[in-house]
A = this chain, B = another copy of it.
Amino acid sequence: MDKTFGALKPHLDRIMALKAAMTLFEWDNETLAPPKAARLTSNVIGALSGEYFQAVDDEKVRELVKACQEDPGLSEAEKAQVRELSREQEKLACIPRDEYQAFARLTAESARIWQEAKEQDDFAQFAPTLEKVIDYQERFAAYRAKDGQKRYDVMLDDYEPGFTMELLDQFFAVIKQEVVPLLKAVVDSKVQIRDDFLAGDFSDAQQEKIGRFLAEYVGFDFSRGVMATSAHPFTTNLHNRDVRITTHYNDNLDSSLFSVIHETGHAVYELGIRDDLTQTLVGEGASMGMHEAQSRFFENIIGRNKSFWVPIYEKVQAAFPQTLTHIRLDQFVDAVNKVEPGLIRTEADELTYSLHVLIRYELEKELIEGQLKVSELAKAWADKYEAYLGIRPQSDREGVLQDIHWSQGSFGYFPSYALGSAFGAQLYAHMKKEMDVEGLLEEGRIDKIRAYLREHIHQYGKLKDSRKLLKDTTGEDFDPQYYVRYLREKFEELYHL
């Protein structure tokens, strides 16, 4: 270890330990903690996050970071850790502590207010709070903006370094131009796909059994991970020997099966990070988008591919005999790929998903850049759904109130979902040049696919950003055409266009 870095190391260990503690409390809150614990436990989390900020935003630590930056002897991994810490310090240093804490209190409150407004289907209840959240976010972004940087660009940088509004405008322009007409053609097509059998009264025990099987089949390692249930599925990790996924069981087999595959995609990423990077500031996925690239790659490109199901469909049939015995493999695969414009993003099919994200991108950009007022948001939301998806929400609950993200101040997060799908398609196009992906799937050799991703993406953690990972893997910068081409080929075939 470099000597200068050695002096910083104990501080990094403190910071990582405090982060891990907050992660564990978050996991515990979502999966296990008793209903009445929240208020008192939030005192603990508040105190830990105070400790964290103090550990990062410390004069001594700043000096050590500076010394590291001037020391040419650091290894690549050490440099990357210093870069991440410095980035975190810059961010915190720009924001007055009292405003930061006031915002933390506001978001603790705002999730509850959003939840209640959603339950009561009344956006007006939530609007004043959302205005306050946006106000803080705009202020923080203004504090942090460099050289005339736009506020929304500052926010985007938190989730997807390297992707500015300029780049995203191009990306979403392609989506709009290609996916909207493709969807129209699909909706107008005469092909009828049956998927009634995917809804039913499935036992939790059977869903859990097949969920565990699928997770392991895709690559989840139960000696280094845990699966639990929560209201909304998510993945979290303490380090590369402790990666956790959640799932939920419901009356929609599709949702239960594919959410496990999706979260396993996230988990496989975290499990694949190099041992010398885990438990450091660069020991996690490169970005939100690259994470979604892994989860959506496994969920959609792999998981909704017929070849994936060839070796295991009989097992799934056997788990749900009443439902699937008389459903052929190709009927099952068609059903899980059926396109149907809907109002809810988290229930969207592979084709319409990017349009849900497009709508949020356009709206939040306008909100942050001052072209749209909160009071106009619900109508703007409905108008865009009508324009892009051909359906109009009849309630706030199914419209502007459906996602938690904005209540938490997470502006700039949504684009990552669509970027992830596009990254995945670009990786897939390149992967197919190097290996017979469908042949491997039919032989049950998902390990080969995981090994490819591990070699090119997973192992590096945050050593490279998403554009660099794409470049090094595929030889090209990010190119949304791969995604559009993938969607077109797949759905033109499915809907005989």
A206 to chain B minimum Cβ distance, whole angstroms, is: 15
Report yes or no: A40 in contact with B242, Cβ–Cβ below 8 A.
yes
Question: Does A72 touch B at the CB level, under 8 Å?
Answer: no
Interface residues contributed by chain A, number (CB under 8 Å):
38
Cα-based distance from A237 to B39 in the complex (angstroms): 15
Report yes or no: B34 in contact with A48, Cβ–Cβ below 8 A.
no
Residues of B within 8 A of A14 (CB): 47, 50-51
Q: For the complex formed by this chain, how many copies does it contain in all?
A: 2
Instruction: List the one stretch of A79-87, A180-188, A219-227 in contact with chain B.
Output: A219-227
Cα-based distance from A16 to B241 in the complex (angstroms): 28
Q: A242's closest neighbor in chain B, by CB?
A: B37
Report yes or no: A37 in contact with B238, Cβ–Cβ below 8 A.
yes
A494 to chain B minimum Cβ distance, whole angstroms, is: 39
Report yes or no: A224 in contact with B17, Cβ–Cβ below 8 A.
no
Report yes or no: A226 in contact with B25, Cβ–Cβ below 8 A.
no
A97 to chain B minimum Cβ distance, whole angstroms, is: 14
Question: Does A291 touch B at the CB level, under 8 Å?
Answer: no
Residues 214-244 of A, flagged 1 when their CB comes within 8 A of B and 0 if not, give: 0000000011111010000000001111100
Question: Does A190 touch B at the CB level, under 8 Å?
Answer: no
Contacts A25-B21, A28-B24, A51-B51; A223 near B36 (Cβ below 8 A): yes
Contacts A24-B28, A34-B224, A222-B34; A238 near B44 (Cβ below 8 A): yes
Report yes or no: A241 in contact with B40, Cβ–Cβ below 8 A.
yes
Question: Does A474 touch B at the CB level, under 8 Å?
Answer: no
A48 to chain B minimum Cβ distance, whole angstroms, is: 5
Question: Does A369 touch B at the CB level, under 8 Å?
Answer: no
Task: Known A-B contacts: A34-B225, A44-B238. Give 10 more (CB < 8 A).
Answer: A17-B43, A32-B226, A33-B226, A34-B224, A34-B241, A35-B223, A39-B241, A40-B240, A41-B239, A41-B242
